[in-house]
Amino acid sequence: MADLQNRETGTFAGDEWGEEDTRFLYGALNALSLLGLLDLVDVDKAVDHVVACTNFDGGYGATPGAESHAAQIWTCVAALAIAGRDDLIDKEKLARWLSERQVANGGFNGRPEKTADVCYSWFVLASLEIIGKRHWIDGDALVKFILSAQDPEKGGISDRPGDMVDVWHTCFGIAGLSVLAYPGLEAVDPRYCMPKSTIERILGE
């Protein structure tokens, strides 16, 4: 994995063809941290790259200069948290942008003027949780939105009410409900989208 890091920019390639963006950087820091192998890569350079992806609105893009997007924001915020550098986040400005993603039906969109989608229940909420601003949104309204997208017969969750359920939205819908402490769900670590108990066991936290 160390061979995938661009030693000049600090980011990572996602495949042998060299495509780079913050998703791959996050994936690398996630995996290496869980394996106790972060010393194989230049973490400071990776952090510098994430900072270079910061936008005027407090969000982050896939690459420097790319528009802020909720999913990319989570990869950047979680990567900084894993690296122990969440002090570099403008938490007030970012929380303002993230909280504005909640729309009238209680769900979140990924960018301004877009339709709410259950998957952003995780990306937005986990980012707010990492920076200590989860209370900036209406959690009860979000719970209602997520549950409204659940198929009462199949049990899965779709992107929005009335659509076909799928694994992706079911996973992130449940993860979002977990962050909101929905009854019966195990707590999820917002940096990894894995049970906190598992992360604590692996990292010895």
- Condensed to tens digits (0 to 9), the pLDDT of residues 1-11 reads 668 899 899 99
In the listed set 40, 57, 88, which residue is the last one of a domain according to the structure? 88
Give yes or no: residues 201 and 105 share one domain. yes
Give yes or no: residues 129 and 69 share one domain. no
Question: Cβ distance 81 to 191 under 8 Å?
Answer: yes
For residue 159, the SS3 value is coil
Give yes or no: residues 38 and 119 share one domain. no
pLDDT at 204 over 90: no
Q: What is the distance of C-alpha 168 from the center of its chain?
A: 14
Question: What percentage of residues in the chain have a pLDDT greater than 90?
Answer: 92
105-156 tens-digit pLDDT? 999 999 999 999 999 999 999 999 999 999 999 999 999 999 999 999 989 9
**pLDDT, mean over the chain:** 95
In the listed set 88, 112, 129, which residue is the last one of a domain according to the structure? 88
Give yes or no: residues 102 and 188 share one domain. yes
Question: Cβ distance 15 to 5 under 8 Å?
Answer: no
Query: Could you tell me the end-to-end alpha-carbon distance of the chain, in angstroms, rounded to an integer?
Result: 25
> Long-range contacts for 86-93 (Cβ within 8 Å, ≥24 apart)?
86/130, 86/131, 88/47, 88/50, 88/51, 89/131, 90/54, 90/58, 91/131, 91/132, 91/133, 92/58, 93/57, 93/58
Give yes or no: residues 113 and 69 share one domain. no
Give yes or no: residues 135 and 159 share one domain. yes
Number of domains within the chain:
2
Residue range(s) defining the domain that contains residue 9:
1-88
Give yes or no: residues 99 and 171 share one domain. yes
In the listed set 40, 71, 88, which residue is the last one of a domain according to the structure? 88
Give yes or no: residues 68 and 114 share one domain. no
pTM score of the predicted model: 0.94
pLDDT at 42 over 80: yes
pLDDT at 198 over 70: yes
- Pairwise CA distance, residues 187 & 194, whole Å: 8
Give yes or no: residues 70 and 103 share one domain. no
Mean pLDDT of 176-181: 97
Give yes or no: residues 67 and 123 share one domain. no
pLDDT class of 168 with cuts at 50, 70, 90: very high
Give yes or no: residues 138 and 182 share one domain. yes
Give yes or no: residues 76 and 150 share one domain. no
